[in-house]
Structure 1
Amino acid sequence: MAPSLKIFKDSTHTPTSLRIGSRLDKYRLTGRLGEGGFATVYAAMDLVEDRKVALKIPDSRHVANAQSLDDLHREVRIMAKMEHPGILKLKDARFIDGHFVIAFPLGEETLADRLTRRLSRATAMDYAVQMISAVAYAHQKSVLHRDIKPENFVLFSDQVIRLTDFGLARIETGGHDVSGSGTLGFISPEQAMGKPTYRSDVFSLGLVIYRMFSGAVPDYPFDSLPAFNRFRKGMSRDFVSIIKKSIDPTPSRRFRDAVAMLNAISKIRYPLTDRSVTLTGDSLPSAMTRRAA
């Protein structure tokens, strides 16, 4: 079903107060999943479709600002054209009772939550390939995400992981932003200087994958890679080389985009030295691995 995109502002409604149990049209709020400076994410029940959803609701102060509203419209339009199993699907986006509401399927937890517990190398590899494929798809659509981090990957059943939060995303036109928007710890040096490119997303993605396998994130300027021995343990040399290349501080030494990164990954049949996981060429476009027999 196509998402509802009634993104015009209805000035006749004063934003209602939001509490757990509140009703927004067909949605009933059931819990608070997270809160940032810009928006709050709620768990909710779609009473018409009888399914759980996540609702991203920006603070009304931001919605009242013309530039912020333009940014919201851009985020919705970008997400509306994303059709990939590794990217969270936009279900609905419109004003309800004075609130701008963006609805998505509700996942089980974020990758950041999952990384607080032990993660097997086989599962981490499955996630890594799905993540690379999702970002590669975005780059093919000329979309620069600019905020790739563990919190922006959502886990679902059957070991599926999906990229979300395109709030900072831009259509890449060759120009550069003048601000260093992004998340400290995962932002590339050039993006921090206001010059993001596809290589910047590759850098952030490489850091997330490095964090999955090593348990640590390097600090720029990368005088050394923390927990590197843990990272490369059980990994094929080719896979280690790909991740090291993706997080090179010099942009020109990285993959030009996630498509090139995915192409490099697709040439590795056994990314783990115990050959417990096989990367199958036919399944790489949908970003899945399979356990070797």
Structure 2
Amino acid sequence: MRGLFTVALKARQKLGKYKIEKRLSEGGFATVYQAFDTIEGHRVALKIPHAHQMSDDLLRDFRNEARMAARLEHPNILPLKDASIIDDYFVISMPLGERTLADRLQKRLALKTSLGLASQILDALAYAHQQKIIHCDVKPENMVLFADHRLRLADFGIAKVALKTIRGSGTGTVGYMAPEQAMGKPSPRSDVFSAGLILYRMLSGEWPEWPYEWPPAGIKKLRAKVHPDFIAFLKKAIDPHPRNRFRDCEQMRNAFLRLKPRVLSYAERRRTKSA
């Protein structure tokens, strides 16, 4: 393919039918912009990979992954609206949310809010695993929140290609990545691990860190907040050894749904007792 531009896009710049409004974020693989679709008349998010990342081989990988991701139709999965080359830019168009879960985590989450978000994360991943698809990059930055309190997991199909490219360039972070995935051996249990880290963070306010020894930071807050059985659930999810985890997010989601009423009633009893 032809060489791609390397300069950043500017506000009011036109890119095909899209008018760039502002830059939303930038990572090791791509920059995300808010843009206005002048044909359909609504705002979208445009993910544009960095020019030095792109190649014919990468585009071929993207085509294969996009076709795979197109099979995923779920209310908690962000759909890929379009992926095409416009004015020498490779442009991935997606619905525009209000903010990411990473943004939301800057402030404390109530227990019910955390459990509601956790349920949506696990529903999305359970559905993907039923379709034999692994996300490979489950992190708060890839979870988009919408006005109706819906969480939608983004970058299915993009994540696998992006991670391979970032690893090849020697950049990126393994902060949410299962140990075996960092060694190049991802499986559904790797998504389980990443989801477990996020649930732990939402409920305790702390991120478990490598080497993921138990108990992690924040365990006192967690024990004061949730039922002991749910702590055991989280411990199983973020076990450094993949064979000790849930086999996939469908099994993890089912365990979560069994425990959720127990967590809520436990919290209510503690609230009543302390009143």
Q: Could you say which TM-score interval applies, normalised by the shorter chain?
A: 0.7 to 0.9
In the TM superposition, what are the counterparts of 1:240-255 in structure 2 within 5 Å? 240-255=231-246
In the TM superposition, what are the counterparts of 1:84-103 in structure 2 within 5 Å? 84-103=74-93
Is contact 1:182-1:192 (8 Å) kept?
no
C-alpha distance in structure 1 between counterparts of 2:211 and 2:200, whole Å: 16
Amino acid at match of 2:178: S
How far is 1:122 from its partner? 0.8
Tell me which of 188, 211, 217 is aligned to 1:226.
217
Match of 1:29 in 2: 20
| TM-score, scaled to structure 2 | 0.86
Match of 1:196 in 2: 186
C-alpha distance in structure 2 between counterparts of 1:199 and 1:137, whole Å: 14
Match of 1:139 in 2: 129
3-state SS in 2 of match to 1:88: coil
Is contact 2:28-2:171 (8 Å) kept?
no
Q: Which structure has the highest helix share of the two? A: 2
How far is 1:15 from its partner? 4.5
Match of 1:158 in 2: 148
How far is 1:274 from its partner? 3.2
How far is 1:252 from its partner? 1.0
Match of 1:107 in 2: 97
Given the alignment of the two structures, is residue 127 of structure 1 paired with residue 128 of structure 2, yes or no?
Answer: no
Amino acid at match of 2:251: A
Displaced runs of 4 or more, over 6 A: 178-182
Residues 203-253 of structure 1, C-alpha deviation per residue, up to 9 Å, x if partnerless?
011001101111111122233311112123332333222211100111111
Match of 1:262 in 2: 253
| Larger CA deviation: 265-274 vs 42-51 | 265-274
Match of 1:274 in 2: 267
Amino acid at match of 1:189: P
Rate the CA distance shift 1:50–1:270 in 2: closer, same or farther, 3 A.
farther
How far is 1:33 from its partner? 0.7
Is contact 2:28-2:172 (8 Å) kept?
no
Match of 2:164 in 1: none
How far is 1:31 from its partner? 0.5
C-alpha distance in structure 2 between counterparts of 1:233 and 1:45, whole Å: 46
C-alpha distance in structure 2 between counterparts of 1:265 and 1:41, whole Å: 33
Amino acid at match of 1:197: S
Given the alignment of the two structures, is residue 45 of structure 1 paired with residue 36 of structure 2, yes or no?
Answer: yes
Is contact 2:24-2:34 (8 Å) kept?
yes
| TM-score, scaled to structure 1 | 0.81
C-alpha distance in structure 2 between counterparts of 1:168 and 1:46, whole Å: 24
How far is 1:164 from its partner? 0.9
Tell me which of 72, 82, 85 is aligned to 2:62.
72
C-alpha distance in structure 1 between counterparts of 2:227 and 2:11, whole Å: 48
Rate the CA distance shift 1:25–1:215 in 2: closer, same or farther, 3 A.
same
Is contact 1:90-1:103 (8 Å) kept?
yes
C-alpha distance in structure 2 between counterparts of 1:153 and 1:233, whole Å: 27
Amino acid at match of 2:32: V
C-alpha distance in structure 2 between counterparts of 1:132 and 1:99, whole Å: 34
C-alpha distance in structure 1 between counterparts of 2:172 and 2:52, whole Å: 21
How far is 1:160 from its partner? 0.9
Is contact 1:53-1:103 (8 Å) kept?
yes
3-state SS in 2 of match to 1:225: coil
Matched length: 258
Rate the CA distance shift 1:14–1:266 in 2: closer, same or farther, 3 A.
closer
Rate the CA distance shift 1:263–1:98 in 2: closer, same or farther, 3 A.
same
Is contact 1:143-1:169 (8 Å) kept?
no
Is contact 2:6-2:50 (8 Å) kept?
no
C-alpha distance in structure 1 between counterparts of 2:256 and 2:208, whole Å: 22
Gapped runs of 5+ residues in structure 2?
162-166, 270-275
Match of 1:55 in 2: 46
